[in-house]
Amino acid sequence: MKRHTKLTAKEQEQQAASHQEIQQAGGALEFTTPEAMLRHDALHTPVPPAIGHRLQASTAQLPQRPQSWWKRLFGG
């Protein structure tokens, strides 16, 4: 299976800043990986309100995760 990596907040800021510089220069965006293109698209594409409401409603119905054993043991 392919390993998924998440960008840290600092990496996201750096990536957004570099994309803004390219856009201000009037050049076309070029991405090194398809994942970078999808991240950029996800950052700049707003979620439609209807879908956001449906997502919140469906996640509210999910059962909560049980508290981990070490939190129960140590009172966290």
What pLDDT shows up at residue 75?
81
Over range 3-18, report the average pLDDT.
Answer: 68
| Residue type present at position 16 | A
10 or 22, which is more confident: 10
pLDDT digits (tens, 9 = 90+) for 42-58: 999 999 999 999 999 99
CA 3 to each of CA 12, 14, 33, 35, 41: distance values in angstroms, whole numbers, following the listed order: 19, 22, 14, 12, 20
- Provide the residue ranges of all domains of the chain, joining segments of one domain with +: 11-46
